[in-house]
Chain A
Amino acid sequence: MATDLTTDSTDRLLDGSDEINKYNFVTKTKGVFRARKGLDADIVTQISEMKDEPGWMRDYRLDALKIFESKPMPQWGGNIGINFQDIYYYLKPTEGQGRTWDDVPDEIKETFDKLGIPEAERKYLAGVKAQFESEVVYGSLEEDLSKQGVIFTDTDTAVREHSDLLREYFGQIISSSDNKFAALNSAVWSGGSFIYVPPGVKIEFPLQAYFRINAEQMGQFERTLIIVDEGAEVHYVEGCTAPMYSSESLHSAVVEIIVKKNARCRYTTIQNWANNIYNLVTKRAMAYENALMEWIDGNLGSGLTMKYPAVYMMEPGARGEILSIAFASQGQHQDAGAKVVHCAPHTKSRIISKSISKNGGRSSYRGLCKVEDGAVGSKSSVVCDALILDDKSRSDTYPYIEVEEQDVQVEHEASVSRIGEEQLFYLMSRGLTEAEASSMIVSGFIEPLIKELPMEYAIEMNRLIELQMEGSVG
């Protein structure tokens, strides 16, 4: 039932948008199998069979499909106009996993070149997990990590090779019934990363993975599970880009993270999907005693993003820190935010959100800070700043603060403003054009994100902001 697939729509690249997207390109893909469009029990069974999965995973998927079908669409956030039957849910691009860089097909290497995977990363090649379409096509894990017992593989492989470990946590943090899109992902997931860091192991450099959506109307449903054992540390970096297509596409990931006692995990995302993509993602971490979970979440692309990374602080001393940056331009709605839930005493959280709306874009911060009964001595601070660059754009702030305990300290502040004229005039008096001055002010505004990124990403981000800002003032 394998079908040959050739997609070539380079000539349609720039249709439909005058927005600059430096990742506007399409690479020919030779798929070995693409499930037919649509979603039903047959498709789900077929996906499971193609992946040669154990029966429990197939049943899990089928159960999730029923939940997906029974759940209503969310009535809040953005307008979701998806025809679920008009999407391909599974595409397997090449046969098997690339073992070395040489094994990776030229077409895909070309894609990486265009993506501009940083040189630094090639040097490491510690853990490039490139998800091209739905499956990880290349993966190589540096030997010393492997020796230390670190597992860094794609989730499909983990189902086969680390099934006991995976099964213990899979779907425990985000169940299929959590929300409609978590259910969808649970039914049709493919790819994503599985990471296990054994007790006390501290990985010095970021583990990285790139995700791409390529075939037209191709949903991408990666599933990531990260387990950071006691006293261990890991930084995971996820970057997303996608070629422009004329019809709408869907990305709906589920990311589950466990950070055990005294462990640390940082998860960095630079999301730059094309403007016609729905990016509807559920990300949640559980942090145990004295553990630290950090989400760094930059949202630049997509037509509609709805994503609110969460940290549940389950045991005393756990900490959660979330930095959320959103940039919405023409045709974009960034409904991004963060959730922190204090379930245990003396837990601490901090959310910083920065959003920029320009050229008719809409950015919304939507977040939750909940202090549960019993979480005495908890502290939380939430700060949201929004910049509106013109009178066509819109900014919203919807923080939810729920306090069920007495001995707590919860603070929230938000403000919306525009670029100060004095600032602008000052910079222009120093010889900058208005565009340059605005760009500089915006860069300063998102500085808190930039300085948390690995250097090569920081450089990319700055270039991206410059591109986004071009022609925005006039």
Chain B
Amino acid sequence: MVKLSYMTNDISVIENISSYTWDTEREDKYDARSYKIRSEVYKEIKHIAVDRIYYGAEFCEFLIPTLNEVKRAIDGVKMNYELTFLTPVVTDYGIKRLEEIFDYLAQYCPGIEIVFNDWGVFKLLQCNYPSLLPVAGRTIDKMNRDPRFLKGQYEEYYNEAGLEYLQSSSLFAGEYRKFLYDSGIKRAELDFAPQGMLAAPEIDDTINISVYIPYYFVTTGRHCMMRTLTRPDNLKFVLDNTCGQSCDHYQIEMFRKGEKLNQTKENKEIRVYRKGNTIYGLNKSIGDLLKQNFYDRLIFQLDF
């Protein structure tokens, strides 16, 4: 049976989660297109019971919450929801920040799910925090997810076997599933890929699968325009442990008409969304996903 989780970076949403509702009728002046699409998707899944809240950071070690914020999130969900803590791709700097949080979670919240997006974080959990439950996050899955293909172009550029390849995750390969299972990983998470998703017919139930909706992440990296927005030019590409956190102030919508692949009447523009160091696409084909049964959890992103 499929369950629904909410994902948010907004601690005030978690603290009022019992009375929270997504307003599908709201018109957002600043984020109109994205909000409308998310509302359309939400209408399709709102009948599913919410039992879990995702909180943390997936792509940036400078956005790892403070221990105090984590405590507030734990208090916010109280007894009504389960909490899943998201962790990002990290350097040794980020590992140190996570250790402080894991120390607390291991003591006060044993059994809590920790989504890892870096195999180093998994190894840290496996060696030092066996009471915390590792979940393979969506960066761990390497399936392509490219927003630049327009409607109908997959069939134009891929043959049948090629498209099936593109629609399949390595998570559906026996060798990989065995590797995850033998490593003690019982849940893995996928993005809602724009080309569609095809589960292998013989897929076993050793690994539970979650799917993030409606945003899928496209690319991410350590160099970040928002991190260094206020730096002098000759320091913008120097990697260190400082961050201006300008992503807290600005969100960016990127758009262009099809260049390398011809545009069609149905798709005049390609739009993606950038927050900090990460680009996201939006997939509204929720109807297709709801017909499939390879997952048991949907994660609806209230924000990013």
* Chain A partners chain B: no
Which positions in A face B, CB cutoff 8 Å?
none
